[in-house]
Amino acid sequence: MTMKRIAIIGPGGAGKSTLARQIGAKTGLPVIHLDAHYWHEGWVETPKEEWAQAVRELAEGEAWVMDGNYGGTMEIRLPAAPALPPARRHAAGSLPEPDAARHGAGLPGAADMVLLEVYLEL
């Protein structure tokens, strides 16, 4: 079975965009970085009333890897990738180098840090 839509959700700096690029490169799926659509020149935000519609249009695509948080759009994105297995938790100390160092491995409490939740449509 081929994955057609993958939504990657996690805290800032966790590696969502890196993971999205890697999955896109491996699968050939187009990558959608929500930050690139939300932020405009000079760090100007997309107006709230426009943002939901923009995400809705992005999510209508037949296939994609989409990364970003934007809690107000979860109800749009997650149904678009409906087969949701349990989220996987990755401790910072379990990441291969150099990512482990970048994400705080060795810091007190880092082993409890949730880095990514990945939802896949199978």
Contacts of residue 91, Cβ cutoff 8 Å, sequence gap at least 6: 110, 111, 112, 113, 115
Per-residue confidence band for 101, with pLDDT thresholds at 50, 70 and 90 = very low
Cβ-count burial 54-87 (b if 16+ within 10 Å, e if not):
bbeebbeeeebbbbbbbeebeebbeebbeeeeee
Q: Is the link from the previous residue into 108 a cis peptide, with omega within 30 of 0?
A: no
What pLDDT is stored for residue 120 in this prediction? 41
pLDDT tens sequence across 42-89 = 999 999 989 999 999 999 999 999 998 888 898 888 888 754 444 444
What pLDDT is stored for residue 15 in this prediction? 83
Mean pLDDT: which of 16-20, 58-62, 105-109 is highest? 58-62
Q: Taking all residues of the chain, what is their mean pLDDT, rounded to a whole number?
A: 73
Domain range summary for the chain, segments of one domain joined by +: 5-120
pLDDT (mean) for 91-112: 42
